[in-house]
Structure 1
Amino acid sequence: MTETVELALKALEAQLNQPLETALEACARCGICAEACHYYRAEPKVEHIPAYRAEQLRSVYRHEHDFLSRLFPVWTGSKKLDEPTLLHLTEVAFSQCTLCRRCTVNCPLGVDTPLMMRAIRAMASAAGTAPEILVILADAAIEKGKDPSFYKEMFLEQITEMEEQLREITGDENATIPVEKQGAKILYVPLAGAHTILPPAVIFNAAKEDWTLSIFEAANYGVFLADMKRAKEVAKRIVDEANRLGVKEIVVAECGHAYASYRWDVPNWFAGEFNFKVRSLIEVIAEYIIDGKIKVDPTAIPEAVTYHDSCNLARSGGLIEEPRFVLKHVVSDFREMTPNKAEALCCGGGGGLVALAEYAERRIAAGKPKADQIKNTGARVVVAACENCRLQIGDLNEHYSLNVRITALTDLVVRAMRLPKPLPGAEAEHLFEGEKAAVTKI
């Protein structure tokens, strides 16, 4: 047995708790999960059936834990783990499953196939066979947390420039983007890039919120790797920041995996240190509309708009009605995809797959069912409250000639607020219909 295989098997053993053992033992091989999977819908092949993917891990598990399987492997379908098998398992877990959980919610026995795929990802991370780019991104975030001063000055300079844009957009000379504000109610955690800072800042200022901006980003590539050591180190940066500032609530940017992680996992990882409420930015915006803290005009967005349910937000996070509430207040023509909500089809870019260039062709092919859904709505604008989903749908838009515009929900809210100036890059959408016609004639 090589060291690589030994490390992978140790990682498997470390994860064998009741939920994983139940998933490994409970499958009835009925095949109902096939139609639930977007990979199978896009290309109906045996290897795209979730139960078949899970069987790849079960065969290794049986060899390690079933005496008869070691004696009669052909009879039971068991397989001794070796390096070629580990590499195959790694490819299956990272490129043929986005961890969307649609198979699980449609399984009569509730078999958690994504849990088994996470187990394989953990094995790959421990053995050093996981995709290198995900490891690099996770480690970069960890290093950033060790010494924020290295980039903090540059970050604050960028925020100062953004504040000038914020004042132009809002017409409010006192509008600010506070950083490291002690005792603020909300710690807002963005993603990398001004596009997840400036629009929320517009909304927070309009609502007169007591908030502060995190110096870290919400993305956690340790979660994609199923590497709990890395995932906890990445999350600890924000937990420590929230404790240091004494905030009451952590609000996460429009990001599926970050919301699911901070909402469900991180409070358990840091029990005793985590005394904060966690919400998505979408929930906060819905509350502002209900309380009248921001004013929105649905006639500002006359185009037909549809909404893509992020798997982590909707199916895993229960964030289903809030984005629809917001959309129905900021657009005049909202169209649902079918199926939707907890049964929504995955876009094909989740689980970190959108970052893996080597699997781009497979990712785009698996996204065809989502592309067909979008096309069938006839909508011209697709809203996705997740960065990875927006990137994937952008690629689907180009590949399948959907002729749609993809946007974050926050951007539409800002547009519907009818502010003095638009967000950068949204000048045309900011115009009233009559003004658009005038510009077209010119």
Structure 2
Amino acid sequence: MEDILAKQLNPQFREEVAELLKGYDFANCLACGMCSVGCPYADLVENHNPRIFLRKVLLGMKEEVYADPYIWYCNMCELCTIECPMNVNVSALVRALRGTWDKDKIPGYLQTIVKEHIASGNQMNVSQEDYEDTLEWIEEELQVELGDANYKIPLNKKGAKYFYGFNARDIKYYPNELQTTLKLFYVAGIDYTISTKRWDATNAALFTGQTDDFLAISMPLWQEVAALECEELIVTECGHAFRSMKWGQRTYWSGKPFPIRHIIELLNELVKEDKIKLDPEAITEVVTYHDPCNTARKEGVYAAPRELLKSFVKNFVDMNPNGRMNYCCGAGGGGMAMPEYNEVRKAKGRRKVEQVVATGAEIVIVPCHNCMDQFNDLNKWYPEKARSQNMHICDLIEKALIIPKKSVNKPVFCINRRAGTPLH
């Protein structure tokens, strides 16, 4: 280990970081090492030790801190903070330091996603014409599937109870995912709306730490919820979208507050109220559930998914650890958008694969788009171990969904002008 020379330390750096971290006291560190013990990857990946990184900051080793790959290796999952006896939030520290980075030097294509989101209103840079065309296509598909020629997606409905915010990937790559969700909404008969103005709840600036970009992306969506006078914002199966909306509103929104819930919380409520009926015999496979860090550890949503799954899944087996203590899949903190760190992401993923294999699960519920991409990559990287089918919870619910017959509606048949081809 190299000597640390006092003359090379920057005594002002600690104060600079403290100014960035208003509301977070990182100086309580006892150097006990519990953060490194709690980090699932400190022993798997070189330069992935939160204790060492934090000591560099506290000692004023500014050059070493900014040269340390830990800033971008860290998944900001907050498991280290759970273990810390002084509740030092390393994730907040990492995000704050990332926020001082030159935007043109941010790794991967994170900043490209941010720029496109600000310019187009969504992270996939989908044009307004393509967005509305895809909604129209989904609407036509559902008219046929539901046997309801009068079915319409409720767009820009003022005063709706629920405003649904989702992921732009559901428009560009996976319209079938959005179709499934809207099918569940239809069966439940809920009062909701989708905006044609602002609809993408994701925000990659959550990972870059650039506050100006974060607000440029999320503020218009909060404003749209307020403008449509909706009672509640429901966020799709996307951990960082949910975190961006919830944490961002708590931190930056000065308008009239409105509740924000994860779609799983809503679906669990609808099942308990018998508005969605599920066949308890439909799912015979062994099922386990992955807790996205932004959903479970950071925002406390881990009981509702299990209550929902256990209500209709015959063979549910939890990972160990799970819930608030579950391991990050290895793709958090923007990891999916930094391909230069793919080997690091792969190494971290092995621990998640071992978790899944230990459950004997045939289906893994992965309620997050970033996590889903990571799980699918793990199936390719570790084919000898990772063989489970990865699904969103809405897709699993659809397999068990009991659709009540509606005598007033007769099945309709129409020719889909786009032949069911999703937008790419």
Scaled by the length of structure 1, the TM-score of the pair is: 0.81
Structure 1, 207-216 or 305-314: larger mean CA deviation: 207-216
1:119 and 2:96 matched: yes
For 1:266-345, what aligned pairs fall within 5 Å after superposition?
A: 266-271=249-254, 273-345=255-327
Q: Which amino acid aligns with 1:411?
A: D
In structure 2, do the counterparts of structure 1 residues 13 and 413 end up closer, same or farther at CA, with 3 Å as the change threshold?
Answer: same
Contact 1:307 1:337 in 2 (8 A): yes
Structure 1, 367-376 or 153-162: larger mean CA deviation: 153-162
Q: Which amino acid aligns with 2:191?
A: D
Of 8, 26, 29, which residue of structure 1 is paired with 2:28? 26
Provide the rounded CA distance (Å) in 2 between the counterparts of 1:168 and 1:125: 51
Deviations 1:404-438 (A, max 9, x none): 110001111111104599xxxxxxxxxxxxxxxxx
Provide the rounded CA distance (Å) in 1 between the counterparts of 2:157 and 2:269: 23
Give how far 1:198 is off: 1.2
Provide the rounded CA distance (Å) in 1 between the counterparts of 2:77 and 2:351: 14
Give how far 1:295 is off: 0.7
Q: 1:364 — aligned with what?
A: 346
Q: 2:419 — aligned with what?
A: none
Q: 2:222 — aligned with what?
A: 239
1:211 and 2:192 matched: yes
Give how far 1:267 is off: 3.7
Provide the rounded CA distance (Å) in 1 between the counterparts of 2:373 and 2:195: 23
Q: Which amino acid aligns with 1:114?
A: S
Of 383, 388, 399, which residue of structure 1 is paired with 2:381? 399
In structure 2, do the counterparts of structure 1 residues 291 and 244 end up closer, same or farther at CA, with 3 Å as the change threshold?
Answer: same
Contact 2:31 2:55 in 1 (8 A): no
In structure 2, do the counterparts of structure 1 residues 11 and 248 end up closer, same or farther at CA, with 3 Å as the change threshold?
Answer: farther
Scaled by the length of structure 2, the TM-score of the pair is: 0.84
1:153 and 2:129 matched: yes
Provide the rounded CA distance (Å) in 2 between the counterparts of 1:125 and 1:202: 44
Provide the rounded CA distance (Å) in 2 between the counterparts of 1:80 and 1:304: 50
Q: Which amino acid aligns with 2:100?
A: M
Provide the rounded CA distance (Å) in 1 between the counterparts of 2:283 and 2:151: 25
Q: 1:182 — aligned with what?
A: 158
Higher RCO (CA < 8 A, seq sep 6+): 2
Give how far 1:184 is off: 1.5
1:200 and 2:152 matched: no
Q: 2:22 — aligned with what?
A: 17
Structure 2 unaligned segments of length 5 or more: list them: 1-12, 406-410, 412-424
Provide the rounded CA distance (Å) in 2 between the counterparts of 1:109 and 1:14: 19
Provide the rounded CA distance (Å) in 2 between the counterparts of 1:150 and 1:336: 37
In structure 2, do the counterparts of structure 1 residues 125 and 170 end up closer, same or farther at CA, with 3 Å as the change threshold?
Answer: farther
Deviations 1:79-110 (A, max 9, x none): 353xxx46524x3212x210000010011221
For 1:79-158, what aligned pairs fall within 5 Å after superposition?
A: 79-81=61-63, 85=64, 88-89=67-68, 91-94=69-72, 96-125=73-102, 128-131=104-107, 133-145=109-121, 151-158=127-134
How many percent identity over aligned positions?
31
Q: Which amino acid aligns with 2:67?
A: H
Aligned partner of residue 222 in structure 2, secondary structure: helix
Q: Which amino acid aligns with 1:211?
A: Y
In structure 2, do the counterparts of structure 1 residues 27 and 9 end up closer, same or farther at CA, with 3 Å as the change threshold?
Answer: closer
Provide the rounded CA distance (Å) in 2 between the counterparts of 1:11 and 1:167: 58
Provide the rounded CA distance (Å) in 2 between the counterparts of 1:99 and 1:15: 17
Aligned partner of residue 197 in structure 1, secondary structure: helix
Structure 1 unaligned segments of length 5 or more: list them: 1-7, 63-78, 422-442
Structure 1, 384-393 or 258-267: larger mean CA deviation: 258-267
Q: 1:4 — aligned with what?
A: none
Deviations 1:373-393 (A, max 9, x none): 001111011001111111111
Give how far 1:212 is off: 1.0
Q: 1:438 — aligned with what?
A: none
Aligned partner of residue 40 in structure 1, secondary structure: coil
In structure 2, do the counterparts of structure 1 residues 390 and 16 end up closer, same or farther at CA, with 3 Å as the change threshold?
Answer: closer
Give how far 1:196 is off: 4.1
Q: 1:48 — aligned with what?
A: 48
1:416 and 2:400 matched: yes
In structure 2, do the counterparts of structure 1 residues 369 and 190 end up closer, same or farther at CA, with 3 Å as the change threshold?
Answer: same
In structure 2, do the counterparts of structure 1 residues 10 and 317 end up closer, same or farther at CA, with 3 Å as the change threshold?
Answer: same
Q: Which amino acid aligns with 2:349?
A: G
In structure 2, do the counterparts of structure 1 residues 176 and 140 end up closer, same or farther at CA, with 3 Å as the change threshold?
Answer: same
Provide the rounded CA distance (Å) in 2 between the counterparts of 1:150 and 1:357: 23
Give how far 1:268 is off: 3.1
In structure 2, do the counterparts of structure 1 residues 10 and 141 end up closer, same or farther at CA, with 3 Å as the change threshold?
Answer: farther
Of 193, 198, 221, which residue of structure 1 is paired with 2:204? 221
Of 234, 245, 249, which residue of structure 2 is paired with 1:262? 245
Give how far 1:195 is off: 4.2
Provide the rounded CA distance (Å) in 1 between the counterparts of 2:317 and 2:41: 25
Q: How many residues align?
A: 383
In structure 2, do the counterparts of structure 1 residues 335 and 80 end up closer, same or farther at CA, with 3 Å as the change threshold?
Answer: closer
Q: Which amino acid aligns with 1:53?
A: F
Q: 2:328 — aligned with what?
A: 346
Give how far 1:202 is off: 0.6
Q: Which amino acid aligns with 2:159?
A: G
Give how far 1:213 is off: 1.3
Which structure features the higher share of helix residues?
1
Contact 2:78 2:298 in 1 (8 A): yes
